[in-house]
């Protein structure tokens, strides 16, 4: 059983963006500037800016990509373990966002970025991904095994000290959340479907998120 736009339409409803969650500290300009400077200070000299995409950046990068290649990171794996109370979830029905959790490995896409100003690109990227403090995402350089050898790429890993970390859930519990959650950017189920479909287009199959897709589709269909 697979997710389809028709199934997802059963869950979708129009929601107005509630804005930043009251009472929770959010990143500001100085915070973003600090993250960008740290990344730039660690950037491999003479190399193009690369991003390791494993989720929504595969299908919605919001920057120009010069070329792509398959890549694998070791010591990290995909997991839905960050609570979403905005975007594709709400405070009443929180969803879950995917991140790189410790352990295992993850196949994804190495994106070489077309950019004359890496700082500007990184600034836009971290503003998209890092929102609240303490942040559940951490921007870092990771070694990625690619066809031509190991390259360094920026990616986003899970910080378990983050405010919205919610790890250790069973596949059934994750599927329950993904099937029900909706935010102003759409449904959590659509996020899952887009990720699975676009990874498959690149010949990448992740057994855990494929299993989640079946569980989420079955839950929606059973309503």
Q: List, by residue number, the catalytic residues.
A: 129
CB-based contact 73:144 (threshold 8 Å): yes
Phi then psi dihedrals of residue 155, to 5 deg:
-150, 180
């Amino acid at each position: 059983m697979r997710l389809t736009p028709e199934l997802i339409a059963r869950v979708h409803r129009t929601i107005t963006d509630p804005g930043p969650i009251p009472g929770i500290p959010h990143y500001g300009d100085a915070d973003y500037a600090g993250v960008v400077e740290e990344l730039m200070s660690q950037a491999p000299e003479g190399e193009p800016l690369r991003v390791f995409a494993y989720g929504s950046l595969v299908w919605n990068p919001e920057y120009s990509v010069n070329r792509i290649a398959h890549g694998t990171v070791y010591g990290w794996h995909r997991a839905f373990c960050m609570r979403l109370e905005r975007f594709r979830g709400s405070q009443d029905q929180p969803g879950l966002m995917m991140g790189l959790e410790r352990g295992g490995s993850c196949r994804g896409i190495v994106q070489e970025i077309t950019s004359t100003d890496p700082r500007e690109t990184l600034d836009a990227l971290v503003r998209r991904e890092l929102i609240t403090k303490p942040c559940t995402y951490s921007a870092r350089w990771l070694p990625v095994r690619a066809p031509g050898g190991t390259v360094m790429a920026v990616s986003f890993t899970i910080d378990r000290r983050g405010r919205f970390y919610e790890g250790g859930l069973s596949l059934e519990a994750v599927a329950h959340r993904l099937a029900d959650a909706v935010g102003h950017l759409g449904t959590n189920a659509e996020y899952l479907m887009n990720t699975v479909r676009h990874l498959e287009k690149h010949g990448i199959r992740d057994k855990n998120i494929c299993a989640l897709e079946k569980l989420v589709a079955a839950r929606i269909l059973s309503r």
